[in-house]
Amino acid sequence: MRYLPLTDADRAEMLDKIGVDSVDALFEDVPEKARLDGTVDLPRHKSEMEVERQLTRLSRKNISASEAPFFVGAGAYKHHIPSSVDHLIQRSEYLTSYTPYQPEISQGTLQTLFEFQTQVALLTGMEVANASMYDGSTACGEAVLMACRITKRSKAILSGNLHPHYAAATHTLAKYMDIEIKDDAAKPGGLDDIAADIPDDVACVVVQNPDVFGQVHDLEPIAKAAHEKGALLIAVFTEAVSLGLMKTPGAMGADIVVGEGQSIGVGLQFGGPHVGLFACRNDRNYIRNLPGRLAGETVDADGRRGYVLTLSTREQHIRRDKATSNICTNSGLMTLAWTIHMSLLGDTGLRTMAQLSHEKACELADRLSAISGVELVTDAFFNEFTLRLPKNAADVVEALAEKGVLGGVPASRLYPGKGYDDLLIVAATETNTDSDLDAFEAALKEVL
Amino acid sequence: MSTRFTKDHEWIRVEGEEGVMGITAYAAEQLGDVVFVELPEVGKTVSQGDELAVVESVKAASEVYAPVSGEVVAVNEALEGEPAKVNESPDAEGWFVKIKLSDKSQLDAMMDEAAYAEHTK
Amino acid sequence: MAMNTQGRPSAPLHTPDPGAYDDTFSGSRGLDQAEPLIFERQTYDKSGVDFEAPKGKPSRLGALERTDDLGLPGLSEPEAMRHYVRLSRKNYAIDIGLYPLGSCTMKHNPRLNEKMARLPGFSDVHPLQPQSTVQGAYELIGELAHWLMTLTNMPTVAMSPKAGAHGELCGMMAIRAALDARGESHRRRVLVPESAHGTNPATAVQCGFFCDEIPAGPDGRVDMEAFKGKLGDDVAAIMLTNPNTCGLFERDIRAIADAIHEAGGYFYCDGANFNAISGRVRPGDLGVDAMHFNLHKTYSTPHGGGGPGSGPTVLSAALAKFAPLPFVIKDGDSWRMVEDEADAKAQGAEPFGRMVAFHGQMGMFTRAMSYMLSHGADGLKQASEDAVLNANYILARLKDVMTQSYDGLCMHEALFDDRFLKDTGVSTLDFAKAMIDEGYHPMTMYFPLVVHGAMLIEPTESESKASLDRFCDTLEALALAAKAGETERFTAAPRYAPTKRLDETRAARQPVLRWTPASADTKAAE
C-alpha cells in the first residue's frame, strides 16, 4: 500500500502504547451489527500501472475538444491556457494547502486571493469581488438571495435568455426561501422586454450578456428601469473573455455581477470544477450581505503588510443559521489558475484573445449562414451565435459528430419541449484554426 | 434614575420616558475588539427580550436583546464609523439605542449595579 | 595547498546581537522573498501570452465595444513564474509537514490522481458535447457512483453537488421534497447538536427549516434524553455528524435513527468525518437517510487552498426519487445523462430541481476514482484503521500533558481543551501560533464549541510513526514550556513565519478588499 506509511511493527507498537489489543478495539463504539467482518464488495488495491491503464482506457472513449474541430459553448468555452498555469497550480504549496485559516503561514494563498478579487472587480467594472463561488450558476442563485437581503424584498425576475441551467439552479436555491421568481419568455436573437414591466416590489432583475443564444445587449436601459423601481440589476455572463472587448456590466449600471470564470485558466473539465465570479458595489449593505469568503489587507505586529480572511461574521462557521450562505469550501485552486492566467494576459492579451474569438465567430457565422436554408438568428454577438437550420439541430449535431466535428449545442437540449428544435448554438474561440472553420462548413453542407 | 442591568449584559439608563441602552463593560471585554454593530431602524417597536442589535468582533457575532419593551427613538450612528467606542466607552459614548419605554415597571425586575457585579463574578 | 575561493567556510566569525539589524534592505529574508502585488508593477503594455495578430475586421458587437482599458497588468512568463512561485513559498502545505486540522482530513494527495484528471479525455471534454462522444466520462461517473453506494450500502447517490455544504443542501432539499410529497410541509424543525459544523444550521435554514439545538451529554455525544424530549410531529430531520466533531462515534446512532424515523423525521448524516469509517462501517447499516461525502477529505482530492470540493450525496430508498437533475443512467449498452424533468419522470424520478449548471466536479471524480482504485476495498479499510490508530496514538501520548476533553478512546481525531493552560497566561490561540514556529500547521482551534478553547487534532493515515512521534514530542515540549511560565514563547509567536500576527481587527473595521491606485498613492504619501 504505497500511500500508507505505517508498518505492522509500528501498528503493534502503537496499539501497545494506546493500551488495546487490536484495531477492532478502537471501533468498539460502533454498534456490533454494523461492524463489517471483511471488506466491502469492491475490487482489491491496484498498482499505479493498473490504475493508469484502467482510467486511460475510459478516457479514450471520449472525444476531447483538441481532437476535433470544436465549436461547443453554451456556458463553457475552450480557450488556450498557457502551460505555466497548470505547472504553478500543481506546486505543493498551493495544491496541498487548505483554506487560509492561519494567515501567518498562508500569505501565498491570501495574496493571490486579494489579486483575484482585484482582477475580478476590474474585469467586471465593479468595485469589489469575493474570493469565488462554486461556478457561475450557483453564483447567480446566491446573487438573487443577496439582492433580496439588500432590498428586503422577495421577488426576482429572470430574463428568458438567461442560461436555462442558471435559471434552474437559481430556482432550486430560492425554492424554500419564500422567494417568488418569475421567468420571462425566451427570445432567440432579441431580448424579452424585461425593462418594460418591473413591479414595485421586485428585488432584482437578472440578465445575461451575451445571452445564452449569443446575442449582446445594452444593459443600461434595464439598469435604469430597475433602479427606478428600487430593484437591483444582476448582470450574468458565462463567457468571461467577452469582457475583453465589451463594455463592462459595471459601466452599464449593474449592481451585482456574477459569472462563470472557466474560460480563463480553468478549461472545460467536463463541467467542473469551474469558478464562480461574484462582484458588487462597494456599499456597506452589499458587502455585509456578500456570500462566501473575502480576503482583506492589513498589517502584522511589525507593521508589515499582509492579508487575512475578513468580515467572517457573515459566514456559516461563525453565524451558523444566520449566515449569508452555507458555502464553506469554494473554488480555491481554480481562482489561482484564473488569476495566473489573467496576470499573463493583462489588458493587452485579454483584448487580443477576445478580438480573435470575435473575428473567428464572425467569419464562421458568415460562412455557415451562407449555406442554403441556414439563417443567422443573432445579429449582434461576441463569440457565440445561433443558427436556424432546415433540420432538427440535435440530429445535425449527432451527424456532425460522426463526421468528426463537434458543432455546437442544440437549443432543444437547454430548452426541451420549447419548440427550438431547429436552433443550433455555435461558439468559436481563438483556438479554432482556418481548417477547423473549413471542416465545419464542409460537414454542415454535407449533413443538411 | 440609576442604571439597570440584564443577565444578558445589557444596561439601560432611564430619564423620563426614555432609556438609553448599550452593552456592559464586562460584555465588551468578553467580546474583544468590536468591529461592527448592526442597529435597528428608528421607529421600530420591540418587546422586552426581542433581538435589538447585533454586535460583532472578528470571530464572533452576538445578539443584543431589548432590555425593555418600547419604541426605538434613536440609534448611535457614530458606531458605524467607530465601532471601537463600544470597547473604549461601553457605558457612555458606546451606547446603542434610545428606547421610549412602554412599561416602566419592567425595570423593577432588573439588576442594579451591585447585583450585576455579583452576577458577573 | 591551493586555496579554492569557492570553498571558504560559511560559518560566521562571530554571531551578532540578533536585535542589531531589524530588517534587511530589500525586505526579503533569505528564501522568504518580499513580493509586491502584480498591480504595483504597473506593467500595462505587456503580455505573457502570444497570439496571431487579429485581422482587424469591424466588430459586430452593436455599440457595445469597450474603448477604455480595464487596468489589468500583464506579466511575461518569467515574471509570472517568479511572482507565483515566490508567493507559494509563504504557504504551509501537506507536502511540507503534518497538517492536523481537525475535521478537514488533510491527507496525502497522490500525484497519480493529478495525472489521471489531466488525461485529455477527462479534462478537455465539454459537458454539452453529443452524448455519444463522452461515454467514457459517463461511465466513470457511473463507476464512482457504484463505489460510493457500495461503501455506504445506500441505493442512490446524487453526484452533482459541488462541495460538502452543497451536498448538505442536496440531502436536506431531498428531505424537504419528501416531506412535501407526504403532505407534511409543516415539519420545519431540524435538530442539530451544538457541536455541529456551522454549515449544518446554515443549510437547514436555506431549506426553509429552523434549527433546534441538542445539547451534548457529559460524554461528548448526543444527550439521548434531551434528544428524545425534542421529538415531535413538527420535526423534519436530525443533522448529525458521525463520528462527531469531538472525534467520537455516536454509540446510540441506531437508537437515534430509529427514534427520528418513528417520529416521522429523517436522518441526515454529515459525512465530513467519513475517513474514520470508510470501508469499515456502512452508513446505510446505521439508518442514515442522506449523507454527503467530501471527496477532498476522504478520497484525497486536493484541498487547493480552499477548494474545489465535491460533495456527492447518498440517499436512502425513501429519498432516492427526489435526487436532483442531472443524473447518469445505463441505458442498454450505453450511458446516458438524464437532463430534464420529463425524462426524469419517465424514469420514475421526481427530482427536487437542478443544483448547478452542469453535472458536478468531474475533475474531482477522476481524482477520487484514481484514489479508490489504488486503495481498493482492502486499502480503504486499512486507511480508516490507520487514521483512527494514528489519532489514538496522539491521544495516548499527549493526554497526560494536555487535557483530553472526553475520557476514553477517539476515532480519527483527538479533542483537547485549554484546561492544561489554566493560569499560564497562554491561550489556545497562543499555543497554536507557537506550533507555527515549531514548523507545524496548528490544529483546528476553538471548534467544536462544546468545549473551552478546543484543540482538535486529526493526523490522518498519511503520517508515519516517526512523524507522529516528532509531533508529539514537540507538543509535549510546548505544553511543558507553557506550564513552566515561558509565556513570551507563545504570546509573541509566531516569530519564524513569513509574517508576525496579523491585525484582523483592523482588517474588519476598515475593510480593504482590493487594490486601488488611490490606496497605492496613500501608501506612498505615508
Contacts of C81 in chain A (CB under 8 A): 84, 88
Percentages helix, strand, coil for chain A (3-state, rounded to 5) are 40, 15, 45
pLDDT at B75 over 50: yes
**What Rg, from alpha-carbon coordinates, does chain A have?**
25
Taken in order of first residue, the domains within chain A and their CATH numbers are 69-81+347-447 (3.90.1150.10), 83-340 (3.40.640.10)
The C-alpha cell 448554438 sits at A425
Band (pLDDT 50/70/90 cuts) for residue C9 is low
Closest-approach residue (CA) in chain C for B36 = C509
Question: If you write DSSP's letter for every residue of C422-455 in order, what string do you get?
Answer: TTTT--HHHHHHHHHHTT----EES-STTSTT-E
pLDDT tens digits, one per residue of C272-325: 999 999 999 999 999 999 999 999 999 999 999 999 999 999 999 999 999 999
Strands A155-158 and A204-208: parallel
Contact C173, C203 (CB under 8 A): no
pLDDT at C359 over 60: yes
Domain total for chain B?
A: 1
Question: If you write DSSP's letter for every residue of C280-319 in order, what string do you get?
Answer: TB-GGGGT-SEEE--TTTTT----TTT------EEE-TTT
Q: Is residue B120 part of a domain?
A: no
Domain that holds residue B50: 3-104
**What does DSSP assign to residue A344?**
H
- Every domain of chain C with CATH number 3.90.1150.10 lies at 378-499
Cα distances from C307 to residues A220, A336, C241, in angstroms, run 35, 10, 21
Report the pLDDT value the prediction gives residue B121, as an integer from 0 to 100. Answer: 83
Q: Which residue has the higher pLDDT, C369 or B32?
A: C369
Angle between helices A332-369 and C77-88 (to 10 degrees): 150
Q: Is C512 on the interface with B (CB under 8 A)?
A: no
Cis link prior to C498 (omega < 30° from 0)? no
Q: Is B56 on the interface with A (CB under 8 A)?
A: yes
Report the pLDDT value the prediction gives residue C526, as an integer from 0 to 100. Answer: 40
Which other chains touch chain B, taking contact as 3+ CB pairs less than 8 Å apart? A, C
For residues A298-317, average pLDDT: 93
ipTM: 0.97
Report the pLDDT value the prediction gives residue A192, as an integer from 0 to 100. Answer: 87
pLDDT tens digits, one per residue of C433-465: 999 999 999 999 999 989 999 999 999 999 999
For residues A229-249, average pLDDT: 98
Q: Is residue B94 part of a domain?
A: yes
pLDDT tens digits, one per residue of A25-84: 999 999 999 999 899 999 999 999 999 999 999 999 999 999 999 999 999 999 999 999
- Rounded to the nearest angstrom, the minimum Cα separation between B60 and chain C is 11
Report the pLDDT value the prediction gives residue C23, as an integer from 0 to 100. Answer: 79
- Pick the residue of A258, A269, A315, A396 with the most C CBs within 10 A to test the interface with C by mutation: A269
Q: Is residue B113 part of a domain?
A: no
| Torsion sign across C-alpha atoms C341, C342, C343, C344 | positive
Residue C353 to residue A175, Cβ atoms within 8 A: yes
If 0-12 CB within 10 Å is exposed, 13-18 middle and 19+ buried, where does residue A290 land?
buried
The whole model's pTM is what?
0.96
Band (pLDDT 50/70/90 cuts) for residue C13 is low
Question: If you write DSSP's letter for every residue of C348-366 in order, what string do you get?
Answer: T-----B-SSSSS-HHHHH
pLDDT tens digits, one per residue of C166-225: 999 999 999 999 999 999 999 999 999 998 999 999 999 999 999 999 999 999 999 999
**Residue ranges of A 46-75 with Cβ closer than 8 A to chain C:** 46, 48, 50-52, 54-56, 58-67, 70, 72, 74-75
- Pick the residue of A102, A313, A317, A324 with the most B CBs within 10 A to test the interface with B by mutation: A313
Contact C302, A109 (CB under 8 A): no
Closest-approach residue (CA) in chain C for A10 = C465
CATH 1.20.200.10 for domain C114-370, yes or no, is no
Q: Is residue B121 part of a domain?
A: no
pLDDT at C18 over 60: no
**CATH of region C378-499:** 3.90.1150.10
Residue C505 to residue B59, Cβ atoms within 8 A: no
Q: Is C429 on the interface with B (CB under 8 A)?
A: no
Contacts of A366 in chain C (CB under 8 A): none
Report the pLDDT value the prediction gives residue C525, as an integer from 0 to 100. Answer: 41
Q: Residue C415 forms beta bridges with which residues?
A: C456
Rounded to 5°, the CA angle C443-C446-C447 comes to 80
Enumerate the H helices of A242-325 as residue ranges.
284-287, 316-319
Contact C443, C471 (CB under 8 A): no
Q: Is B36 on the interface with A (CB under 8 A)?
A: yes
Report the pLDDT value the prediction gives residue C155, as an integer from 0 to 100. Answer: 98
pLDDT at C524 over 50: no
CATH number at residue B11: 2.40.50.100
Share of chain C above pLDDT 90, in %: 90
Contacts of A284 in chain B (CB under 8 A): 80
Residue B58 to residue C505, Cβ atoms within 8 A: yes
Residue B60 to residue A318, Cβ atoms within 8 A: yes
A117-155 burial, b at 16+ Cβ within 10 Å, e below that, comes to: bbbbbbbbbbbbbbbbbbbbbbbbbbbbbbbbbbbebbb
- Every domain of chain C with CATH number 3.40.640.10 lies at 114-370
Q: Is residue B82 part of a domain?
A: yes
Contacts of B36 in chain A (CB under 8 A): 288, 313
Q: Is A397 on the interface with C (CB under 8 A)?
A: yes
Q: Is residue B119 part of a domain?
A: no
Contacts of B78 in chain C (CB under 8 A): none
Residue A4 to residue C379, Cβ atoms within 8 A: yes
Share of chain A above pLDDT 70, in %: 100
Strands C266-270 and C156-158: unpaired
pLDDT at C249 over 80: yes
Size of the A and B interface in Cβ pairs below 8 Å:
17
d(CA A435, CA A69): 8
For C56-60, C247-251, C489-493, which range has the lowest pLDDT when averaged over its residues?
C56-60
